[in-house]
Amino acid sequence: MPFVQIYLADHLSKKNKKDISTAVHHSLVNIFNVPVDDYFQVIHAMPAEDIVSPDSYFNVPHTNNLLYIRITAKTGRTVEMKKQLYQSIAAKIAATTPVSEDDVIIVLVENELADWSFGRGIAQMA
């Protein structure tokens, strides 16, 4: 049930966007055990100058390919699973796009089952 928002520069191609989306989803399926059809994402493409960050943070350099991935998911994963997820996403994106692992920033926001509605105004999992 993760909901993923991806913020990236509009100079990245349609194929790059699809590859980034797929990398995130496959990592969620493989590491967080998310069902394959649980695929809810929004990609926000914007001018690179609208994506703000320092040139380097925690000694990790950033370029104009920087992207932010915000994943909202049900609480309950271990710290080790989260670390594996972040590494998997960054590696898969770097392997298939011009975005380096350094330019992948991930924020995980956790919530409870009652915090989700999948239509009709019903909290289906509450």
Yes or no: say if 72 and 116 are a contact pair by the CB < 8 Å rule: no
Cα(88)–Cα(83) distance, integer angstroms: 9
2 is a catalytic site residue: yes
C-alpha–C-alpha distance, residues 85 and 91, integer Å: 10
Closest CA to 9 of 45, 43, 41, 42: 45
Residue of 2, 35, 54, 61 with catalytic role: 2
Residues noted as catalytic? 2
